[in-house]
Structure 1
């Protein structure tokens, strides 16, 4: 009996606790990969997955040569680039500012107010956006008209789609996302701040030279995870915000897969698109992890 096996036996109770998680991932994450093969087949429900004829890369080539291919790629990339530029830094800034608040009661109040929107349903959020931004009775357009400008149909204008999507996403998720950075800030040795104060460093310099470097490993890991899902946009919110007028900016890969696969019944074609999207995400994840590891930063492996 090997040493490792004896170690497992000694800690069998810990492995039993881990067992439900392993079973969950095997059933709901790994077993469904069996169906990915239909991306390379002309799937026919009557013949099943094994009985459907192979078509090789025809589904992928069909997607690459489609007239909407570059539009889907462009919309998906632009939304994620804007999220990375504008939404990703906000929780970091919020956590750094909250950490400097001297009043614990006020700090808790701000935290509660900022992370409460996280619990709002996406359906409710989009409904609220439609009411707030309505060109007829919405308070935002009422304010715009008060200053002498014409009302803007935000939810139907393709040029405003990404702005509304990103801004509402920041409002809903910034407070919740800041919690992990606040937790990382608590691990910073207070003596570093005490020494900096004695040396005459103000709050800004302490944030810049103590707090920010202290949470940088956490920032790096979350950045890797964000880039690893770079081609994935929140399906529910994008789909609910779509309408025939803004579809040119709102149609992304995830919504197209849903419409093609479930609504039109083109299962093989939709699976090929989804697999292409997943492969791009995997390449980005491995690449950014390798780059940051070479730079001496934190990495996933």
Structure 2
């Protein structure tokens, strides 16, 4: 091929009729693991307290489950206490009081699940659709504030409202001699537990659902409105499908603690309502361990509760995957 008429140093892309060169891929600079650690050292240091908490008080505590298979004696410790096999579980499953606590726990947990998801979701829809910016922030703060109050303070406030000398009791009694005490009526134990839980922790789920509502594409609402869909149809066909993954996530997280129906909440009101209606698995474990000194049976009850909760979470996660949702993990 003749090179006459070409500029010295010209490239094929600059020559007439020459095919252009393919663009070269940008060079990727690999960062070593140590460089990433140095770069993110501040974030890693912020993680240390949380990691230590889970290692010591969560994963480390799993080793204590071995006393469920021992005749545990605190003065001897785990290493010298005699082994008992599964006799503690036989004692546990043969105790009618344990099954009564299981029934109270399951019924109260189901009662809480029925109301814990719909009520915060309804509040989130109200905040998102009806209220404007400043009012929305104020109401959201008021709803979320009880979440940071301890159960000791919360129960004290509730007793001041609905106790025998509370405002609600005076209104129900009509100023007469008849005293209305909602804290001593055994039939009101579960409704009171659910109402207190909604009042205290509704704001936590409301914040999550409100954030999920803001992630729904506004163009979907506009398209549905152009197709003639009213507010209720937009809610059913756009809003609820948009927040369904978050609802499933919150439900699975709630199932993980379904047998932890509020130990502090129940313990503080157990004597008022009576053991016959208020004994749950957590209080059963507490009184058998600290009051009766039967640590092994209490550990067996706690291990039973943990295994059932694990099975529920795994099953709920698999159901979520079959329904096309992401779930908690893959």
TM-score > 0.5, shorter chain as reference: yes
- How do 1:137-148 and structure 2 match up within 5 A? 137-146=165-174
Moved more, 6-15 or 204-213: 6-15
TM-superposed CA distance for 1:121, in Å, is: 2.3
Tell me the CA shift for residue 286 of structure 1: 1.0
1:204 corresponding residue in structure 2: 232
Q: Which moved more, 1:17-26 or 1:69-78?
A: 17-26
- Structure 1 pair 88/246, CA: closer, same or farther in 2 (3 Å)? farther
The correspondence of residues 5-84 of structure 1 with structure 2, limited to 5 A, is 7-13=32-38, 16=41, 17-18=43-44, 20=48, 21-84=50-113
Q: Residues 126-149 of structure 1: CA distance to partner in whole angstroms, max 9, x if unpaired?
A: 1122222223x3222222233999
**Residue deviations 1:110-138, cap 9 Å, x none?**
21221122222211211122222223x32
Q: Shift of residue 151 of structure 1?
A: 4.3
Cα distance in 2 for partners of 1:36, 1:205 equals: 51
Equivalent residue for 1:221, pick from 246, 249, 253 = 249
Would the alpha carbon gap of residues 190 and 250 (structure 1) be closer, same or farther in structure 2, given more than 3 Å must change? same
1:157–1:246 Cα contact (<8 Å) kept:
no
| Equivalence map 1:272-283=2 (5 Å) | 272-283=300-311
* Aligned pair partner of 1:252 in 280, 296, 308: 280
Figure out how many residues of one structure are paired with residues of the other and give that number: 296
| 2:289 aligned partner | 261
Flag the 1:291–1:255 CA change in 2: closer, same or farther, 3 A: same
Residue 107 of structure 1: how far off its partner (Å)? 1.3
Contact 1:161–1:246 (CA under 8 A) maintained in structure 2:
no
The structure with the greater share of residues assigned to helix is 1
CA gap of 1:112–1:245, structure 2 versus 1, over 3 A, is closer
Unaligned runs of 5+ in 2: 1-29
Unaligned runs of 5+ in 1: none
Partner of 1:184: 212
State the TM-score, normalized to the length of structure 2.
0.83
CA deviation digits over 1:77-107, x for unaligned, max 9?
A: 1110000001221111111121102521221
Give the TM-score normalised by the residue count of structure 1: 0.90
CA distance in 1, matches of 2:236, 2:83: 57
Task: Quote the residue 1:238 is aligned against.
Answer: 266
User: For the structure 1 residues 14 and 179, does the alpha-carbon distance in structure 2 shift closer, same or farther, using more than 3 Å as the test?
Assistant: farther
Displacement, 1:222?
1.0
**In the aligned structure 2, how far is the partner of 1:102 from the partner of 1:146?**
36
Separation (CA, whole Å) in 2 of partners of 1:244 and 1:193: 50
Decide whether the 8 Å contact of 1:144 with 1:150 is kept in 2.
no
